[in-house]
Amino acid sequence: MDNRPLAILDSGLGGLTIARAIWSRLAYQSTIYLADHQFFPYGDKTALQINRRLIPLMNFLVKSNCKAIVIACNTITATSIKLLRQLYRLPIIGTEPAIKPAIKANLKENIAVWVTHQTAVSPHFKTMIRNLDQRGQIQIVDCAGLADAIEALAQNQSKLKSVLKKYLAKIKINYSALVLGSTHYILVKDLIQQLVPSGVIVIEPSQAIAQQTETILQQFHLLPTSTCPVKRLFFTTADHDQASSTASTLLGSSIIFTPCTL
């Protein structure tokens, strides 16, 4: 048993979707959420820029006495998870697009996968697709600019809808599943589900990541006790008022960010 907090890291607010799944699965687990808005979005940065930037962020989380870190970001997972696991000794859980379950559920039918630009070009992701797409049934859509649009337009549903339609129009196949390969896209999953052709299922990994987190904590004897007071802290490296209001709108519950300079 270990009552230290679990850290959750993302470039912005998308990782809150993973946090939400973790909170409902591990009710007694305290969390520290770190959003790197100063450097947001990561999707248009190079792997080298992201790797350099992650060091102060990871050091901040390690110094805050966390017991494990969830990388609640597909882009960071694609560019840096191997490096982070080499550099840090605590358990690090990554976030990958749920392509395997999509293939399982849709068997021979086509699948569209939305990812950030940096995920799309990363060798880690390309290898994963090469291994999984043995029938040539997957279309990867580079959704450059979409994660930023979701945060910027959180208060404006109709503009957000027309932006989402633009990205849906990039899918050039008949598809029966759309995999959300960025945690930011999960923030607007309901809107996306309204916009896809009927019968298309929208697939995302937040529940699976929460389950994997529980498994890892269990494996390392790091689960919390049920008597421990639960704390949820939220830090951002940029404007905390902006982050608080956007997060509260997107999650539909009050989230208060504290500024942190990194």
Contacts with ligand DGL by CB under 6 A lie at 10-12, 14, 40-43, 73-75, 116, 119, 147, 182-184
Question: 72 and 20 in contact (C-beta within 8 Å)?
Answer: no
Question: 66 and 35 in contact (C-beta within 8 Å)?
Answer: no
Q: Return the number of other C-beta atoms located less than 10 Å from residue 49's C-beta.
A: 14
Question: 57 and 235 in contact (C-beta within 8 Å)?
Answer: no
CB nearer to ligand DGL: pick between 9 and 223: 9
CB nearer to ligand DGL: pick between 176 and 213: 213
Q: Closest distance between ligand DGL and the C-beta of residue 136, in Å?
A: 24
CB nearer to ligand DGL: pick between 102 and 147: 147
Q: Closest distance between ligand DGL and the C-beta of residue 21, in Å?
A: 14
Two tokens, residue 154:
């959180």
CB nearer to ligand DGL: pick between 36 and 176: 36
CB nearer to ligand DGL: pick between 73 and 171: 73
Q: Closest distance between ligand DGL and the C-beta of residue 138, in Å?
A: 17
CB nearer to ligand DGL: pick between 151 and 222: 151
Two tokens, residue 241:
């008022």
Q: Closest distance between ligand DGL and the C-beta of residue 228, in Å?
A: 29
Q: Closest distance between ligand DGL and the C-beta of residue 94, in Å?
A: 10
- Paired residues of 68 in beta bridges: 6
Residue number, nearest CB to ligand DGL: 43
Q: Closest distance between ligand DGL and the C-beta of residue 74, in Å?
A: 4
